[in-house]
């Protein structure tokens, strides 16, 4: 209960929450962009089964565009709320189209990343980008 008291032993750690939230946004966006670069550029590896890139004018190509460019906007924290909301929807579609048909359990259907990104982006759409973002710099006087 000591950590509930203001100035308790965890006060210093709690004070880092805004910076750690920014680090979470940046790292999650960087990792997310890799899913898109795989689809668009076959980098760092291409899509299974033949390590190729997706055709740009396809559902997977559109997903790649959202993941690379939307991920970049999340990384720098620009237009964070609307972009995060769109990416949350994309991840819901990805889960229910690509993973859920392969089984109920996310660990079996390999859908855990899609679920986690869906709810992370949904949270980000409500919470905003936090510090270390273009959005917060644009609001500064």
List the domain range (segments joined by +) for residue 23: 2-132
Beta carbons within 8 Å of 69's beta carbon, 6+ residues apart = 36
pLDDT digits (tens, 9 = 90+) for 53-72: 999 999 999 999 999 999 99
52, part of any domain: yes
75, part of any domain: yes
Contact present, 44 and 34 (Cβ < 8 Å): yes
116, part of any domain: yes
pLDDT digits (tens, 9 = 90+) for 89-101: 999 999 999 999 9
66: helix, strand or coil:
helix
20, part of any domain: yes
Structure confidence at residue 139 as a pLDDT band (50, 70, 90): confident
Partners of 44 in beta bridges = none
Quick count: other Cβ atoms within 10 Å of Cβ 86? 16
Structure confidence at residue 5 as a pLDDT band (50, 70, 90): low
95, part of any domain: yes
137, part of any domain: no
Quick count: other Cβ atoms within 10 Å of Cβ 96? 13
Q: Is 43 exposed, middle or buried (0-12, 13-18, 19+ CB in 10 A)?
A: exposed
Read off the pTM.
Answer: 0.90
**pLDDT score, position 118:** 98
Number of domains in the chain: 1
């Amino acid at each position: 209960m000591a950590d509930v008291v203001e100035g308790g032993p965890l006060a210093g750690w709690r004070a880092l929450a805004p910076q750690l939230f920014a680090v979470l946004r940046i790292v999650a966006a960087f990792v997310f962009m890799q899913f898109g670069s795989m689809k668009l550029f076959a980098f760092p590896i291409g899509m299974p089964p033949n390590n190729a890139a997706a055709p740009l004018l396809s559902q997977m190509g559109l997903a790649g565009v959202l993941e690379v460019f939307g991920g970049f906007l999340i990384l720098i924290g620009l237009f964070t709320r609307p972009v995060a909301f769109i990416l949350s929807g994309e991840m819901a579609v990805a889960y229910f189209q690509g993973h859920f048909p392969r089984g109920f359990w996310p660990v079996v259907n390999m859908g855990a990343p899609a679920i986690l990104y869906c709810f992370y982006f949904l949270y980000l759409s409500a919470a905003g980008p936090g510090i270390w973002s273009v959005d917060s710099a644009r609001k500064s006087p």
